[in-house]
Structure 1
Amino acid sequence: MSGLSFDDAEIGMRFDTPRRTVTEADVVNFCGVSGDFHALHTDAEGMRDSQFGARIAHGALVLSIVTGLRGRLGVFTDSLLAFAEIRRWRFVRPVLIGDTIYATNEIVELRPTSKPDRGVMVQKVEVFNQHHQVVHEGEMVSIVKRTVHA
């Protein structure tokens, strides 16, 4: 198995994702996929005078990009069984078109399940922009394979 198994994981392990710039195409495509054509994302003139000063990316789009960035790490390529839950996710700052984001992930909880071949892993996730400001934060819960069976 490639990737980190539940039994090899330790509380406090950290993984930083690669960076990715949020593009106009990302926002336009997400509008189409989600059906969310709110002016926050589509009205450049109106948003120029808003509290944000420009159009912003959908919060759900940024969250989706983060799941992709986390997958690019390869840390759990063969060991991830399921993405089970998102806890206490907060949209701290807006992400503008052209912002570059990345995420830090820290294992904060590990617990075996009733099935000996898997465990629950909770990671604290913080998403940063190019100014190293937190833009999103929360916890992601995964079910991960075990290599040692109790």
Structure 2
Amino acid sequence: MSDAAVHDVAPRLVYFDDLTEGERHRTATRSVTEADVVNFAGLSGDYNRLHVDIEFAAATPFGERVAHGLLVLSIASGLCTRLPVSEAMQQNILGLLDLQCRWPAPTRIGDTVHVVLTVTDLTPTRSPGRGVVTMRRDVVNQRDETVMESTWKLLVRRRPADDRNGAGR
């Protein structure tokens, strides 16, 4: 082994003040599998026939089984946590304040999805140490169809007051 020192480089922390409205991030992709749908049904107790019954689902307008909407939301959340900006913010997220979702198209078993995260609003709170970050998270499949649109409002720690002048990325 070499005498060279090994250093673990901690990611730079991202605060409310480091974000900018309009900034966008794209996640890695992930395929939605049969196992995902079956395991989510078991975990959630949601055995809706549209998700678990091949014959029933074939007779619906979708023509086949589709993934649970909440499974797609969960996958989106997981993909976003792996973004470098999200990893750098984790220590400063104080809570999820609001979440709104809609599913304009189905996610089919076998679809490969990714998330486009856009910071849409930054609102300081009355408390000088906090701000509300609003993010739009759109889940897009391999056909470039948006299958889920969501808005997340997070309470995020602000950079310490004595360090705000040097804020920014």
Structure 2 letter corresponding to 1:7 = D
Q: Are residue 82 (structure 1) and residue 92 (structure 2) matched?
A: no
Q: Over aligned residues, Cα RMSD in angstroms?
A: 1.5
Which one has the largest radius of gyration? 2
Structure 1 letter corresponding to 2:49 = A
* 1:101 aligned partner: 113
Q: SS in structure 1 opposite 2:60?
A: coil
- Looking at structure 2, the residues matched to 48 and 58 of structure 1 have their Cα atoms a distance apart, in angstroms, of 16
- Looking at structure 2, the residues matched to 80 and 50 of structure 1 have their Cα atoms a distance apart, in angstroms, of 41
Q: Which runs of 5+ in 1 are unaligned?
A: none
Q: Deviations over 1:84-104 (max 9, x none)?
A: 2113x2110000111111111
5 Å-filtered alignment, 1:1-150, equals 2-77=12-87, 78-87=91-100, 89-149=101-161
* Per-residue deviation, 1:148: 3.7
Native 8 Å contact 2:117 2:137 kept in 1? yes
- Looking at structure 2, the residues matched to 110 and 148 of structure 1 have their Cα atoms a distance apart, in angstroms, of 17
Q: Which runs of 5+ in 2 are unaligned?
A: 1-10, 165-169
- Looking at structure 2, the residues matched to 11 and 143 of structure 1 have their Cα atoms a distance apart, in angstroms, of 15
Q: SS in structure 1 opposite 2:85?
A: coil
Q: Deviations over 1:57-108 (max 9, x none)?
A: 0001100110111101031323322222113x21100001111111111111
Q: Deviations over 1:2-44 (max 9, x none)?
A: 3421111111111111111111111111111111101101111
Native 8 Å contact 2:80 2:86 kept in 1? no
- Looking at structure 2, the residues matched to 72 and 54 of structure 1 have their Cα atoms a distance apart, in angstroms, of 31
Question: Which is helix-richer, 1 or 2?
Answer: 2
Query: Percent identity between the aligned chains?
Result: 41
Native 8 Å contact 1:3 1:74 kept in 2? no
TM-score when normalising by structure 1: 0.92
TM-score when normalising by structure 2: 0.82
Question: Which is strand-richer, 1 or 2?
Answer: 1
